Amino acid sequence: METIAELEPTKKKHKLNKVVNRLRKYVDLFDIPESPLGKPVAHSVLLASYLREALGVDVIPHIRVQDLNKTALLSIIGGLEFIGINKVVLLRGDPVSNDSTKLTVEEAAFYAKNYYKKLKVGAIVSLRYPTTEILKRVGNRYLDFFLVLRASQYEDKLRIIRQHSSTKKIYVYVIIATEKNLPFLREMLNDQPLHILSEVSSFVDRVRGFADGVVLSCPFDTDAIVEVSKLVKKLD
C-alpha cells in the first residue's frame, strides 16, 4: 500500500522543510490541502511547487475549483505540469466568501483531462453520502483516484467502491487523534471518525484489500504523524 502524508499549509518555510525531511523516508507522497475549513493560508499549489523543486518530493496539491474559472484552472495545472507535478485533487472546498464560481469538480475534471492528457485527477469521496451518489462520482470517467473519508464508519461502502472501480486508485483517510490535538480536531471535524495511535495498525490491515493506500492526517502534532508513518511503513 502507498502511504500519503497530509501536510498542514503553513507560511513558515523552515517548519515545512523540517516536517517533510522527517517524513520523506517513510511516505510515498505528500498531500497538501487548500484553505482547510475555508481559512486562507499559503496556497497549496505554491507549496507543492516549492517542495517539488527544492526538496524533490512527490506531491498532490488540492485545488479549490470554486475559486477559479476554466482559464485559471487550466493555467494553474499547466504550471504544475511544467515542474513535473502530474497529480491534483479537485474539490469545491469550504466557503470563504460569496464570490465563488459555479464550477463543479466534475466540470473541472472534464476540462483538465481534455487539456492535459497525462494528468491524474483525484477527488474526495465521503462515505456518509448515499451509495448511488458515491458510485456516480467514482464512475466519472475523468476522475482517476479518490481520497475517501469515513471509511471506518462505512466499510461496506468501501467494499462497494472497490468492486465498481477496479481500475482507479482508492486512498483512505486515517485521521489520528492524540492528547495534543484532540480538542482541536473535535472542534474542527465534528463527528469525523478519529483513530488513536494504537488503532492505526488494525485499521490499515482491515482496509488493505479494498484500498491502494492511506492518507495519514494528524493536524497539530508532527511527532505523532512521524511515528504513525514509521508504523505503517513497517506493515508493508
Q: What is the pLDDT of residues 197-225, one digit of tens each?
A: 999 999 999 999 999 999 999 999 999 99
Are 46 and 9 spatial neighbours (Cβ–Cβ below 8 Å)? no
**Model-level pTM?**
0.94
pLDDT digits (tens, 9 = 90+) for 136-158: 999 999 999 999 999 999 999 99
Average pLDDT, whole number, for the chain? Answer: 94
- Strands 213-217 vs 169-175: parallel, antiparallel or unpaired: parallel
- Count of domains for the chain: 1
Residue 104 φ/ψ, nearest 5 degrees: -95, 165
Are 87 and 120 spatial neighbours (Cβ–Cβ below 8 Å)? yes
Question: Where does residue 191 fall: left (phi above 0), alpha (psi -120 to 50 degrees), or beta otherwise?
Answer: alpha
pLDDT digits (tens, 9 = 90+) for 11-23: 999 999 999 999 9
Q: Which domain holds residue 18?
A: 2-235
Cα→Cα distances 103→80, 83, 201, Å: 20, 26, 39
C-alpha cell read off for 116? 492535459
What is the identity of the amino acid at 109? A
Residue 180 φ/ψ, nearest 5 degrees: -70, -40
Give dist(CA 171, CA 6) in Å, integer: 12
Residue 135 φ/ψ, nearest 5 degrees: -65, -30
First to last CA, the chain: 7
CATH assignment at residue 206: 3.20.20.220
Give dist(CA 133, CA 148) in Å, integer: 14
pLDDT confidence band for 59 (50 / 70 / 90): very high
Give the residue, 188 or 112, on which the prediction is more confident: 112
